[in-house]
Amino acid sequence: MTTTYLFANNASSALAAPISSSDTTLTVTAGTGSRFPTPAVDQAFTVTLNDQATGDVYEVMLCTGITGDTLTVERAQEGTAAVAWAAGDFVANFLTAGTAAKFVQGAGTLGDMSAQNANAVAITGGDISGVDLASKRGNTASRPAPPPFLGCQYFDTDLGQPIWASSIGPNLWVNAAGVSV
C-alpha cells in the first residue's frame, strides 16, 4: 500500500479532552475538525501535538481518518514518543521532516532533500536549509520577520503558546484557534 499524504493550509486546533499515551483517537475543539484534511483509503496526514504548558513536548502522529472533530491516529511517528496529552494542548497539520523526505525530487527542482532528524530537514538548492523547527522559540519581538515559510511554527514565550505563519510577510502569525497574534 502506498499512502498519499494530505495537507491543509493552517489547520490547527486544540485537544477538547485529554488523551492517554495509548489512545488511538483524539477529539479537537468543537467545530474545528473541518480545518483538517479528510483521508480516504490509502490517504493520511501528519498531525503534530505540542504541549500548551511548556511548548517543549511534541508528538508526531499519522491521522488515517476523521469524523467530525474526532481524529483516528497512529501514535509515535518520526522518532517521537507516545505521551499523555492534556485538554487544551495544541494540534496542527504540519509538513514534517518525515513527510518531506517522501517527496520525489526531480533534477532542476528543489535539489536533494535529506531528513537530518525528527525536527529538521535540509533542502540543498532550494530556499530552506537546516531549518530546525523545534528550536524556534523566543519572545514576541524575536519572531522571524518575515517568516521563512508558510506554516512555520514559533513558540512565543511572551504568549506561552506555539504560533504559526499564516502567510509570508511581517506580523502574519496565528495561534491554534486561527486568531492573529
For cell 508526531, the residue is 60
Residue type, 139: N
Domains of the chain, earliest start first: 4-94 (2.40.30), 104-174 (no CATH)
Give pLDDT tens digits along the chain (181 positions): 688 889 998 899 999 999 999 999 999 999 999 999 999 999 999 999 999 998 889 999 999 999 999 999 999 999 999 999 999 999 999 888 888 877 765 444 443 434 333 333 433 333 344 444 444 778 888 877 666 666 777 788 888 888 877 765 555 777 776 777 8
Answer for the pair 100, 121: CB distance below 8 angstroms, yes or no: yes
Contact 82, 75 (CB under 8 A): yes
pLDDT score at 32:
96
Q: Taking a C-beta distance cutoff of 8 angstroms, is the pair 76, 118 a contact?
A: no
Q: How far is CA 125 from CA 66, 105, 106, 110, in A?
A: 36, 11, 12, 6
Rounded Cα–Cα distance for residues 133 and 21 (Å) = 23
What is the helix (H) or strand (E) element at residue 161, kind and residue range?
A: strand 161-165
Q: Which long-range contacts (CB under 8 A, 24 or more apart) does 108-114 make?
A: none
